[in-house]
């Protein structure tokens, strides 16, 4: 199978590594295009694949095309390869853009699987949500699922849920980074050295996620740590007084709204 990757930024290059590592196809069968890339037949910086600036060269012989450009760049990327669109399977990780909007630029015959990964795919601990159009076959879906399984967990969703997925798991790592940073700031305020505070904050988030993974409801786990008149309930009361819960709910709502706006602009 031949693969073309359009846009070799953070996500495009993470996918490239996943594809090469799982042995799905060899580097000689992959061409990646990006305006910043040097023209190389075998680029050692990118797993030995061919890199170029010309999008149509990347999709010309491809069976599978991965679209990994920013939403604002899709229109020009699509225009530059329109004459090479045949019966390729397209995988789009572009935030916000619906399958209908992608088809407007790629043509009605394009088979499209829309995927929303998150940045922990860079360390094979991501989660990727897949939605697809009616022209996609079971084998297309299995193929793409197997690529993203190299980079973490995979869930299948209806396309109408994609804005919510984008806002929660796509954007979510950024919220957790702010959480870790703020916890560490609190630790420093309580007298801890910065390094120790950050390490404790990170390990606390990691450990707490592991406890949730065991299957108990987060509220039950929270109640288990909050003893009467103890330190944790004092901290929890301060969180409630400062709108911690509603800030997170509003963050997800705002991001979902923004994802919708990105598509409306098309």
Ligand X SMILES: NC(=O)c1ccc[n+]([C@@H]2O[C@H](COP(=O)([O-])OP(=O)(O)OC[C@H]3O[C@@H](n4cnc5c(N)ncnc54)[C@H](OP(=O)(O)O)[C@@H]3O)[C@@H](O)[C@H]2O)c1
73 is a site residue for ligand X (CB under 6 A): yes
Q: Segment contacting ligand X (CB under 6 A): 38-46, 90-98, 106-114, 243-251? A: 90-98
Q: How far is the CB of 55 from ligand X (least distance, A)?
A: 5
Q: Segment contacting ligand X (CB under 6 A): 110-118, 189-197, 218-226, 240-248? A: 110-118
Q: Which of 26, 70, 100, 265 binds ligand X (CB under 6 A)?
A: 70
77 is a site residue for ligand X (CB under 6 A): yes
Binding-residue pattern over the window 25 to 64 for ligand X, x denoting contact by CB under 6 A = --------xxxx------------------x---------
Nearer residue to ligand X within complex by CB, 34 or 263: 34
Nearer residue to ligand X within complex by CB, 122 or 221: 122
* Residue 43 C-alpha from the chain's centroid: 25
Q: Which of 43, 49, 59, 71 binds ligand X (CB under 6 A)?
A: 71
The DSSP secondary structure of the chain, one letter per residue, reads --EEEE--SHHHHHHHHHHHHTTSS-GGGEEEE-TTS--EEEEGGGTTEEEES-HHHHHTT-SEEEE-S-HHHHHHHHHHHGGG-SSPEEEE--SS--HHHHHHHH-TT-EEEEEE--GGGGGT-EEEEEEE-TT--HHHHHHHHHHHHTTEEEEE--GGGHHHHIIIIITHHHHHHHHHHHHHHHHHHTT--HHHHHHHHHHHHHHHHHHHHTT--HHHHHHHH--TT-HHHHHHHHHHHTTHHHHHHHHHHHHHHHHHHHHHT-
8 is a site residue for ligand X (CB under 6 A): yes
Q: Where in 157-196 is the site for ligand X (CB under 6 A)? A: 170
Size of the site for ligand X (CB under 6 A): 27
Nearer residue to ligand X within complex by CB, 76 or 242: 76
Residue nearest to ligand X (CB): 9
**Contact residues for ligand X, defined by CB under 6 A:** 6-12, 33-36, 55, 68-71, 73, 76-77, 93-95, 116-119, 170
């Amino acid at each position: 199978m031949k693969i073309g990757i359009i846009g070799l930024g953070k996500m495009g290059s993470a996918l490239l590594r996943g594809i090469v590592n799982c042995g799905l196809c060899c580097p000689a069968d992959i061409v990646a295009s990006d305006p910043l890339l040097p023209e190389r037949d075998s680029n050692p910086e990118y797993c030995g694949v061919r890199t170029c600036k010309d999008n149509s060269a990347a999709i010309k012989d491809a069976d599978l095309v991965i679209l990994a450009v920013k939403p604002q760049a899709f229109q020009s990327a699509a225009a530059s390869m329109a004459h090479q669109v045949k019966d390729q399977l397209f995988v789009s990780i572009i935030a916000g853009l619906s399958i209908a909007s992608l088809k407007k630029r790629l043509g009605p015959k394009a088979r499209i699987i829309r995927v929303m990964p998150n940045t922990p795919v860079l360390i094979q601990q991501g989660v990727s949500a897949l939605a697809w159009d009616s022209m996609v076959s079971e084998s297309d879906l299995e193929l793409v699922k197997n690529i993203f399984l190299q980079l973490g967990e995979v869930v299948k969703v209806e396309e109408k849920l994609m804005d919510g997925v984008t806002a929660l798991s796509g954007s979510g790592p950024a919220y957790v980074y702010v959480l870790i940073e703020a916890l560490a700031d609190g630790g420093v305020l309580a007298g801890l050295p910065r390094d120790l505070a950050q390490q404790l904050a990170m390990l606390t988030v990691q450990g707490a996620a592991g406890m949730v993974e065991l299957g108990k409801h987060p509220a039950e786990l929270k109640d288990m740590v909050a003893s009467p008149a103890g330190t944790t309930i004092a901290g929890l009361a301060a969180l409630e007084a400062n709108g911690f819960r509603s800030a997170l709910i509003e963050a997800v709502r705002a991001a979902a709204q923004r994802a919708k706006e990105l598509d409306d602009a098309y």
